[in-house]
Amino acid sequence: MAQDLTGSKIDSNNVVVSRSEDGGKPVAIGFRAKKANGRYRYFWLYRVIFNIPTTSLATKGESITFSSPTIEGTVFRRNKLDGENKHPWKAEVTEGDTGVAQETISNWFTTVYEPDFSPVTPTITVTTQPAELTEVVEGSISGSLSVVASTNTSYPVTYQWYENSVDSTSGGSIINGETSASLDIPTDLTAGTYYYYCVLSSVGASSVTTNVATVTVL
């Protein structure tokens, strides 16, 4: 590591030798820092040049106190141009922020992050479909249907639930007022089979329709 960061040389006896002519080559440094809310913010510093570490040896009588060496680096702009013909020096992202893909976080330390300025196509991703309810009892109806979804932009996802007389996502009727991610099963249903689905929308994105959820009232 000393050789990589500072240009020091390991001799044939495995001794680290630092010389006045030494100089570290530029390296990229990736790390993360925990925020007050428990989430992590991830960083890449693209071009860092480190100086020779400083070592403090304090003498007191016949004893010598050794302190851990410290090292300082200087951050420079990257020589490699990005997609906008600029020279980046830092990249940073916070996990859980709107529009941040999980793959970006999970792959952060796999390779040095490369800026991507390609146009973003707004999309809605459904991660949890509404599940069927098959044992709802007439007269004591409870329970709900829910959907979990996200979008890759800063615009929120909006919801509209529909009911249908057949197992289909076309030809259904809007349920007025049901515009959240969950739908409470109507308590006045009589014995029979009912079908529900949700249409999700977001600014600039194509609408997405969930699977049909069957509710069977006994």
- Mind listing the pLDDT tens digit for each residue in 80-91? 999 999 999 999
Reported confidence tier of residue 22, pLDDT bands at 50, 70, 90: confident
- Whether the per-residue pLDDT at 33 is higher than 90: the answer is yes
CATH number of this structure's domain 124-217: 2.60.40.10
Name the residue with tokens 């080559």. Answer: 25
Name the residue with tokens 């529009």. Answer: 99
The CA distance from 16 to 8, in Å, is 7
Say what the pTM is: 0.57
Question: What mean pLDDT is predicted for residues 3-15?
Answer: 89
pLDDT of residue 157: 96
pLDDT in tens, 55-81: 777 777 777 787 788 888 999 999 999
Q: Where are the domains of the chain?
A: 2-106, 124-217
DSSP characters for 107-174? TTTTS------SPP---EEEEEPPPPEEEEPTTS---EEE-EEEESSSSPPEEEEEEESSS-SSS-EE
Eight-class DSSP state of 36: T
- Largest separation between any pair of C-alpha atoms in the chain: 93
Q: What distance, in Å, lies between the first and last C-alpha atoms of the chain? A: 70
The CA distance from 64 to 158, in Å, is 68
